[in-house]
Structure formats: structure tokens, C-alpha cells
Structure 1
Amino acid sequence: MARRWRSFGRSFGSALGGKAGRFSGIRFRLGVALAIALAPILVLGAIQAEADFTAQAAQRRDALRLASERAAATSKARLDGAVVLLETLRPDAVGEYCTPRLAALADRLRGYEAILRVRADGTVGCGTLEAGRTRSVAGQTWFEQLRMGQTSVALRAPSALAAEPALVVAVRAERPLGGFDGALAAVVSLEELRPDVSDPALPEGAEAALTDREGRILVATDPAAFAIEGAPLSGWVTRARASASELFTGVDANGRRRIYAGAALAGEDVYVVLAARDPGLWSWARLNPIGALVLPLLAWLAAFVAVMWVSERIVVRWLDYLERVAAIYARGRFGIRPVQAAAAPSEIRLLAGTLGEMAEHITERDLSLTNSLAEKDALLREVHHRVKNNLQIISSLLSLQQRALDDPAAKAALRDTRQRISALSLIYRTLYQSADIRRADLSEFLNDLVGQLVASETGRGPVVTSEVRADSLVADPDKLAPLALWLVEAVTNAQKHAFADRGGHLAVRFKVSGQTSLLEVEDDGPGADEDRVGSGVGSTLMQAFARQLRGETTLAAAQPQGLVARLVFPTPEALRPVDPRDVEGGTGG
């Protein structure tokens, strides 16, 4: 019964998700299910963040492209303003004070390095060129284009006109009849035409540069930002010639990935390029990390913690409580009731009520079984007592009959019969006097039986002393009866043949050796003779009783004299020995 309830307690505790089943219990499974249920919050947050990043990256590129177009348009407007200025400076308007007037004009206008009046043969008539610069522009590209009939040009200034990178803006001058009469030219610094990177409309950290048609950097705020690894800028220049602007990416000399946007500035000779850092696919520099990631994560954690706390307070802690109650029931203590579950949810209260009812039914049934067993135990003890009394009555009747006989052989036969009946009577007395009426300890039983057999002959002849050394072994009556009758025959034979007319010492030894047990009866008589070893009734009965125990009997000479009767038989399946020292089959004294 106790083992069944211990097994039930372990199964119930495991089903409720105890500590041993931490990863298979309700708490763990509920947490996993909740984490999966709330996972879409994080997934949607990540998708939204990626969408925001993609949109802002596209906006960043569009802003950079529009900024390059706007910068190119601004620079073109300044160049157009220079053309208008030069067209207003007709040769007849300059007059004989050409150089002072042009110098004063160049000083007032920002970004103009020089303003020139060029004659039809290419010589500089007047202007503000630095000392040492060329006095003839004949053969230069821009001058030859004007000579060929082009009204205005804006090209990169040759080194003969400007020491620093600059543009030359020139318009054609004509005579009244339309003949070529030279040109008016202005040298404009490229630094002045370079876009202003402090413009708030540009992305943070933007850089600006001007290039020629080959993609070579003319001026730049940070030359390293335009030193693209493995891909010169000339590639984008070719593409920019076919459209108003061009957008591309690359890695600069510092290993930073950048976005580049460019547009033509002056014809096909000068181009403006803007560069901004590319944030990359997983960079959140331009995102709102709190709204895109942190808030969804905090919402997920808050929901997870809240549900886990609620489940702990409402479900798990009550299941733990019921598991402890079930563990108490498994130990056989059914007086405990789960009264604390009165404050639990209705489902838990129902389960607690079921456990309480189960405990009450088990208590009632155990009480009924205990009473029934006690009654049966008392009845069985009474039966054993009456059987013992009946056997004693039979022994008394045989004793009366024995006294009435004159034949010694008949008297001896009745005496032997009385001893066998007394041995059986002792079995029943031992059973109803023991704690367990179904079993008896062989050590106590053998001591009582030998004492009874020796005492029955006291006063009829010489003194016989006895010694019993027996291991304790709890056996049932089926094994006690043949063992007791075998011992009666062995002791009776010793009394008849070894101790007759002389007395002596009787030694009885019982030893349990694992799967085999040994019972010996040794006397110190004269030893074996033909009368003691043969086909007598005693020897025949001893062999019969030995077969009932699935053992065998042998008779051997003792040292220094006497006879030993041995019974070797398999150790009966029995309960634990009474004496703990005999658990491993030790000997007793």
C-alpha cells in the first residue's frame, strides 16, 4: 500500500511540473508558448525598422542627388551671371581706362581672379592678370571656340591664366559689321564655385568636390573622401554626360562606404560631386531606435513578465501546493487536507476538493482494512491457540495410554509420537505468541524446541546438557513443521542411543549461508553403530522430512567422539532476519 502511494506521489508531482521536471512543467511550457505568441511584436518591430531604414536611405540618396543638382544649378547661375557681366562690358564701354576699371570691378566682385579684354589676334589688350602671366591667349581652346563663332564659353582655365584651379568664362566681341573683334573673359576661382557643405539641406558629414571631364579632382573639401578604391571617378562622368545627374556608391581611401551624387557644372568640362556616408543595411544612425526596437522589446518583456507572474500566482503556486499535499499522501499521512486552496481559482479548488475526498476515502478504507485485519489476526491467533490446545490434549491422552502399557517398545513408540505432537504444538504456540502470526523466528523456535525435548527426559535418567547456536531466520509454518520434526527425530535418536544410561552433551547448530542453510545435531556418545545407522524408523522419517525441505540428511562421526546429524537445505524465502547481524548469513550463539 505504502509503495503504491509513493509511486502515485512521484507520478503526480512529475505531472504537476515539480523541480525534477522543470523543463517539462507548466511554467516552462507556458513561458515558451507566451514567448512564441508575443514574438510577432518583435518581428513587426524589426520589419518596421527595416522599412523605415530603407525609406530613409532612399530619402538620403534623393536628398543627395537633389543637392548635387541644386549645387550645379547655383554654380551655373553664377557662371551665367558672369556671362551677363561680360556682355555688358562692351569694348566701347571700357574705353581708354580699361585696366583700372576692370581692376576695380574685379575687386568688388567675389571670386573673380581676373577680367580680360582680348583683341582679335589673341593678345590681351587690358585686364587684371597677375604679373608674369601670358599676354596672348591665341591657340587656347576657349579663344578658338569664340573665334569660330561661339558666342560664349565656360571652360577650365589653362595654367597660363590662373595658378589655382579656375574656370574661364568668355563672350565673343564683334565689330559693327559682325566681324570678330576678340573677347571679354573672366577667370572665376573653382573654390568659389564649389558647393557649401555647411548647407543644412545636405546630409551630415557631406563633402564636396569639382572634377574635370576625366574625373580628376580639381578642388575638394576632403580629397580622401573622393579617392574611391579601385574605381576612378571617370566612370560616373561618362554616365553623367547622358543625364542631368548621376548617383553611385563606393569606398573612399579611409575605408568608409559613401554615396556619391554628381552633375555637370560647365558644359562637359567641369562637374560637381557631393559625397555622404552610406549608413549601411544594419546601421540605425538615422532611425529612432527607441520607437523601432526598444519600445516593442519592452512591451514584449512587460507582457511576458506580467503573464508569467499572473500564471505563477494563479496556477503554478497552487499546483506546487497540491504537489506537496500529494507527496504527504504518498508517505501515508492522509490526515492533511488542502485547506489553503480555498483562496485558489475554482479549477484548483475543485482539484483540491477531489484530493481531500480521496484522502478521506482512503482513510476510511484503511481504517476498515486495519480493523478487518486485526479481527482476522485475532481469529487466526485463536485458531492457533486452539490447535495447540488440541495437540496438547492428544499428547496428554497418549501419555495416559503410555502409562497403561507394559510393553517397553510400545511405550517408546508412544513417547516418540508425543514428542512429535509436542513439536507441532510448539509451532502453533510460537505463531500465536509472535508479532506476525504467519511467521516465526527459527532462532527462538529452535531454542524452545530443544529445551522442551531435553526437559521431557529430565528425571528419567542421567543428566543431559544442551547448547543451541542458531542464526535468526523468519520462516512460515510450512517450513517450520518438517524442520521441527526432523530435529525431534535427531534429538530422540541421540537420547535413545547416545545418552541412554550415561547422559552427555547435546549441541544444536543452525547456520544460514546465503542460499543454503545447515542444521546440525551433535552428541558426544559412543558414536555410530549398526543400531543407530540403518533403515530404522527415525532415519526414514529424517530422510522424508529432508525431502520436504528439498534437502538431504547425512550422519557422520563427530570429533573426538559422538555422532553428527546434518540437514542441508535451501534457505527458505523469508522476511528480513530479526537479528541485523544475520542479514549477510552470519552465525549466532
Structure 2
Amino acid sequence: MAALPWASFSTIRVRLTAALAAALLPVLLLGILQSAIGFNRERVNLRRDLGFAAERSAATARARMEAADILLQTLAPGSVGFQCAQRLAEVTQRIPGYANLIRFDSRGRVACAAGDVPADEQRAIRPWFQALSGGQPLVVSRDPGSPYAQEPAVLAAVRANAPDGRFDGAFVAVIRLESLEPSATDPILPAHSEVALADAAGRYITLTDPKAFTKLPADWREKTRSQGSDVWYDRDATGQRRVFSAAPVVGEAVYVVLSARSPGLLSWAWLNPLSGIVFPLLTFVLALVAVLAVTEQVVIRWIAYLQRIAALYARGRLSVRPVQADQMPPEIRELAETLEDMADAIVGRDASLRDSLAQKDALMREIHHRVKNNLQVISSLLNMQQRSLTDPAARAAMSDTRQRITALALIYRALYQGPDLKRVDLRPFLEELTAQLITGEMLHGPGVQTNLAVDALVIDPDRLAPLALFAVEAITNAQKHAFHERGGVLTVSFRVRGEEAELEISDDGQASDDALASSGVGRTLMTAFARQLRGRTELVRNATGGVTARLIFPNPGEQPERPDAKDGNQAAA
């Protein structure tokens, strides 16, 4: 029986795997759900921590600016006087982060400075200077109008007052922006964070890693102004997804911007394998492998063993026994014992059937033998009756009848003497039939030489009888008309040509046209025998001048095959 296309999906292995997978699926889904919850929690924490880090970094920078204010207030009373420049220079060297300390008078001219100060004729009218002149105590400016340092810096200025309270200039500290920038290694920052400072226009001033940043969103200043800080997600210059935060450092002039990795769910699970997806997935796979291995050893292996035993039984090797049944689990061992009992029952039934067939064969052979003996008795009686007759026509009719009965007796003898009670080998049968017919007439006339060419064919008795009687009529006709008082050569040929078989019986006599056109009893019987075989008959003159009787009918059988030698059954497997 042909296997169905989906048969491979209904095996025990597949069903057990599917059942176990369904049983363990909730565990796997729970692990994945826990991983997703953990990822979301860590993402929220990262966003919160980055926002706090930005605010703390901004607070640290503002504290630095306030320290600069206190420093300027402390230096104010003694910043103008003898060795002013030297004292300011010593301060800038001792306190890192200051690029310059400058004292301006009320007109914006340099009164004292720790370093070089760029010339600026418009200083007195600069917005930051005007703010101090108008009474503002502290001004911080990112764009003071002139480059007061070679590196990015911010200017912090404190108002200087005369003893009578009038505006007396300004004390300015030029603070390097890098000193306000948080360190990327600061423990308060998330892992793998990068730091940058940006101005109010969104342009980056300093960056620890330019590839880790991207253009600031359009509404970032409004959010930092209203919320104190802003956190958002975006992709950096390399296309990697990151989380960003921004907070003001110096009023609305300078902002600190932090950038940290924003891992996806799979990358987070890769970084957290035990608490993520790997552990439940590994548990799922190990459970499947363990159950499949146990199933293979406990169930599948023995079922395959019993399947091989059953296949041997199907081929007739019923003496094989499952000798390894003692090692099987009890349930499968019971199945093996049942299979062994079934084999014993089949062996017993086969033995009984063979005995019955042997008795039937013996009975059929006895019947064929007795029928053959009875036909021989009838033939002998006819022979005795033929001898007592004086009329030649009567004697010839009696001889023809006796020969027909002899042919039928020969069929029954071939059946009970042959190996098969239902089929007869045609070649030896025609040889013996021809020999009996020719030998019987040689006692009363000249000798006849026979040539036989018969293809091998096994035929059943129902078709053999009309074929044999046709041959009897053809050979008898040749003996009467072709070989009488002269002898000759009789040729018997049987050929199998595809779907048709052809029997030809030829003599080398001199046949007249009347003999070919005659419609006697023999010709009528030959036509009747051809119809029984669903064939046709022809009576024609051959090349030697004699008559050829030809019988053409459908191929009744196949060429005989040698019986295959079958090995005996093995004792065990």
C-alpha cells in the first residue's frame, strides 16, 4: 500500500515530540514573557537613569559655575593692585578648568589679567557687559563677542562695585567647556555612554565620540526648559539605535547631551542569557532531547525490532522468533509474545493447509489416473470392435474415434504425472501425442518421419483438449491422404508470436484441389475445435505440394518458469 504524503508526520517520534513541545511551550512562553518584561523594565530604567545623569551632569557644571562666581567674589577686593596679573595667573594654575581671569574697568578696558586678552573696542557695549552695568550681579555668556580662549569656553562675569556702589567694571572668568563636560567614565552614567556639549542652536561644541550622536530634535529646547531635561530615542551616525538625554548647563547657552546604547530585545537577551530567553529555551531543548532519547531506547527501538520480525513473517519466514523480547519493557514484551503466538498459529494453520492440499492433490491425481485408465479401457474395447469389422469405412471411423479417446487419455496422464495438476507443458505432450499417432499406423503401412518444432508453453486442460483433438484430426488426415502406401515427412510446428499462438501440421503429399475444398467430418471438427479456442483454422497447400493445417488462437499462457529455490526459515533473529 502506498504511503500517504503526510504519513511521516504521524509517527510515534513526531507525535511524542509534538505532545512534549505542547507541554513545555507554556514554560518557554513564560520565559520569553519574563524576558520581555525584564527588557522593558531595564529600558525604562535606562531612560530614567540617563535623564537623571544628564541633570546631575548639568548640576555639576552649574556648581562649577557657582564656584567660579564665589572665586570671583573672593578675588574682587584684591584683584586690582600690585602684582595683580601674577596672583591671577597663580590662581588659574592651581585651579584647573580656568583658561583666564580678567579684571575690566567700567569702560571695558583690561585692568588686570592672568593671560592674554583679545582686543575688543566694542566690549563696553556687548550684551553681557551691558547686563552687568545695568545691575545684574552675574552673567554667563557663550558668545562674548571675542575669542577669550583658544579652545571652546564660556565666559562668567561678576559685577564690580565702587565703595559708593557705582558700577566699577567686571571680574571675568574664562572657563573651558571641557571642564564642564561630564566624564564618560563617571559611574553615575550608564555603561557605554558618550558625552557632548551643545549650544542653544543645537550645534555640538565638544563630543567624546562623534559617531554616537545625531542631529538634535526640533523641540528639545522647549522640553528641557519645561521639564528640566529631555530624553528621546534616535539612531546615531552609524545607524545604531541609542537613547539620548539633554539638560542645560549654563542657562540656555550651553547644554550637556548624553548618548547611551538602547539594546533591542534579542541583544538584551544575549547580554542577559541566564535570566533571558536562553535558559528557558535551553530547558525546552534539553527536555525534548531527553524524552526523545528515552523514547528511542524504550519504545521506538523495540517497535522497529518487532517491525523487522513482522516483515520476515510477511515473507513467509515464520520460524524466526523475537529472542530479544526479555530485554523489552513489559508492555512491548506482551506484544512480542502475541506476535510469536500468531506466528505459531500461522505455522500450524499452514501445516494443516499443506496437508489438505497434499490430500487434494493425491485425490486429483487418483481421479485423473482412473479417468485415463477408463479411457484406455474404452480405447481397447474400440480396438477390439474395430478388428471384428469388415467394412473399411466403419473400421476407419472406429480408428478415428479410438485416436481421439487416446488423445484425451494422454491429457489426463500428463496431468497426474506432471508437477502441476492444473497445467501441462505443451512441448512433451505434442511429442508424445505425435509419436503415439504415427507409431500406431506404422504397423499397417510405410514409415513416416516426423519433425517437431514446439515453443515452450504451459497450458491448462480446458485449452489443451481442443488443441490436442485438432492435432489428432490434422495428423489423421495426413495419414489417410498423404502417407497412405507411400510414407513421407510430417512436420509439427508450434510458435508463440506475441498475443497469438500458431499450430501448424504439414505433410509432403500431393493434395488435390478437392481435398482442400472438402468439408467432411474432420474439417468440421477442426473448425469446431478452433472456435472453442476463440481462434481460426486454415487449410492451405504448402511449398512441397502437401497440405498444411494451421490453427491460430490467442496466446493461452506463458512460458514455463523454473521454480525458485526458497531458503528455509531461520531459527531466530
TM-score range, shorter chain: 0.7 to 0.9
* Structure 2 length-normalised TM: 0.86
2:424 matched residue in structure 1: 440
- Residue 116 of structure 2 aligns to a residue whose secondary structure is coil
Conservation of the 8 A alpha-carbon contact between 2:118 and 2:146 = no
The letter of the residue matching 1:481 is A
Task: State whether structure 2 residue 480 is matched by structure 1 residue 493.
Answer: no
Judged with a 3 Å threshold, the aligned counterparts in structure 2 of structure 1 residues 386 and 159 are, in CA distance, closer, same or farther, namely: same
Report whether the alignment pairs 1:295 with 2:279: yes
The Cα offsets for residues 63-119 of structure 1, whole Å up to 9 and x where unpaired, read as: 22212211221222222233234334564x668547265555555443344444544
Displacement of 1:434 in angstroms is: 0.9
Cα distance in 2 for residues equivalent to 1:394 and 1:193: 139
Cα separation, 2, equivalents of 1:157 and 1:483: 129
- 1:259 and 1:361 mapped to 2: Cα distance? 80
162, 168, 183: which one aligns with 2:148: 162
1:189 aligned onto 2:215 = no
Matched, 1:370 2:370: no
- Whether the 8 Å contact between 2:106 and 2:167 is mirrored in structure 1 is yes
Secondary structure, aligned partner of 1:292? coil
Residue 148 and residue 451 in structure 1: after superposition, are their counterparts in 2 closer, same or farther (change >3 A)? same
The question of whether the paired residues in 2 share the 8 Å contact of 1:472 and 1:579 is answered with no
**Which residue matches 1:387?**
371
1:26 is aligned to 12
Shift in alpha-carbon separation, 1:507–1:126, aligned structure 2, 3 A: closer
1 CA distance for matches of 2:342 and 2:310? 11
Q: How much does 1:435 deviate?
A: 0.9
**Aligned-residue offset at 1:369:** 1.4
CA 1:500–1:127 in 2, change beyond 3 Å: closer, same or farther?
closer
The one-letter code of the counterpart of 2:471 is: L
Identity %: 50
Is the 8 Å Cα contact of residues 234 and 242 (structure 2) preserved in structure 1?
Answer: yes
Bigger mean CA deviation after superposition, 43-52 or 454-463? 43-52
**2:569 aligns to what?**
none
- Report the counterpart of residue 400 of structure 1 in structure 2: 384
Matched, 1:77 2:60: no
CA RMSD of aligned residues (A): 3.4
- The residue that corresponds to 1:243 in the other structure is 227
5 Å-filtered alignment, 1:164-563, equals 164=150, 165-174=152-161, 178-222=165-209, 225-226=212-213, 228=214, 231=215, 235-253=219-237, 257-280=241-264, 282-284=266-268, 287-528=271-512, 530=514, 534-563=518-547
2:128 to 123, 142, 154: 142
Per-residue displacement from partner, 1:470-505 (whole Å, max 9, x unpaired)? 222222222222222222222222222222222222
Cα distance between partner residues in 2 of 1:103 and 1:490? 149
Residues 75, 517 of structure 1: alpha-carbon distance in 2 compared, 3 angstrom cutoff: closer
* TM-score of the superposed pair, with normalisation by structure 1: 0.84
- The gaps in structure 2 that reach 5 residues or longer are 564-573
Q: Which amino acid aligns with 2:466?
A: P
Change (3 A) 1:460 1:66: same
Flag structure 1 segments of 5+ consecutive residues without an equivalent. Answer: 1-9, 581-589
Distance 2:502 2:239 in 1: 96
Match of 1:587 in 2: none
Report if aligned partners of 2:494, 2:504 keep a CA contact under 8 Å in 1. Answer: yes
Secondary structure of 1:351's aligned partner:
helix
Aligned to 1:550, what secondary structure does the other structure show? coil
Q: Contact 1:527–1:558 (CA<8 Å) still a contact in 2?
A: no
Structure 1 stretch displaced more, 165-174 or 507-516: 165-174
1:27-66 to structure 2, matched below 5 A, reads 27-35=13-21, 37-66=23-52
Deviations for 1:21-79, whole angstroms, at most 9, x for unmatched residues? 75653334444554555455554444444443333333223222212211221222222
Bigger mean CA offset, 181-190 vs 539-548:
181-190
The separation in 1 between residues aligned to 2:147 and 2:447, in whole angstroms, is 156
Look up the equivalent residue of 1:73 and give its one-letter code: A
> Per-residue deviation at 1:513?
2.0
Aligned residues: 561
Contact 2:126 2:145 in 1 (8 A): no
Change (3 A) 1:364 1:154: same
Segment drifting more, 287-296 vs 499-508: 287-296
